[in-house]
Amino acid sequence: MAKLSEAEQVSNYMETLDYPLKAEVETLRTIIKTAGSLSERIKWNAPSYYYKEDFVTFNLHDKRAIRLIFHHPTIVTIKSDILEGDWKDRRIVYIKNAEDVSSKKAELERIVKEWLKIVGG
């Protein structure tokens, strides 16, 4: 049997995902994918996005909030009120509900586009 493509793996993951904020995950996936030329795959047992190198991965361990882990070292050069933490190589965006997705949409798009400019995408 042929190995599933990255897109097929993500589709299968989402079909079977049992998570209270699943609709918000789907909306965030669309925002991230349409903001720039990122590819999607499964990493750390969740949807993850990359352009040449890994950039952002969902963390769905907390049932009360989605965590978007921006884990490319250049993320620390992007200034944004929604990027939390002061680690040397990552930042986190917390999403609690659909309203949070809506209010952070434009800034998430800006972050993705700015990162792609930094890495030559």
Instruction: Tell me whether residue 33 is in a domain.
Output: yes
Q: Which of 5, 37, 40, 36 is nearest to 26 (CA)?
A: 40
Instruction: Tell me whether residue 1 is in a domain.
Output: no
Q: pLDDT digits over 54-85, tens only?
A: 999 999 999 999 999 999 999 999 999 999 99
Which residue segment(s) compose the domain that 44 sits in?
A: 6-119
Instruction: Tell me whether residue 99 is in a domain.
Output: yes
Instruction: Tell me whether residue 16 is in a domain.
Output: yes
Give the pLDDT mean for 90-104. 98
Instruction: Tell me whether residue 59 is in a domain.
Output: yes
Average pLDDT, the chain: 95
What's the token pair of residue 32?
């991230």
| Higher-scoring residue by pLDDT: 7, 107 | 107
Q: Is residue 107 pLDDT above 80, yes or no?
A: yes
Model pTM? Answer: 0.93
- Helix axis angle for 22-35 and 98-119, nearest 10°, is 30
Instruction: Tell me whether residue 45 is in a domain.
Output: yes
Q: pLDDT digits over 28-41, tens only?
A: 999 999 998 899 99
Euclidean distance between CA atoms 35 and 113, whole angstroms: 6
What pLDDT does 18 receive?
Answer: 96
What pLDDT does 11 receive?
Answer: 94
Domain total in the chain: 1
Give the pLDDT mean for 77-99. 97
Instruction: Tell me whether residue 12 is in a domain.
Output: yes
Contacts of 66 (CB under 8 A, 6+ apart): 21, 24, 25, 28, 58, 59, 60, 94, 95, 96
- The DSSP code sequence of 53-80 is EEEEEEE---TT-EEEEE-SGGGGGS--
Instruction: Tell me whether residue 105 is in a domain.
Output: yes
Can you give the CATH number for the domain in which 101 is found? 3.90.1150.200
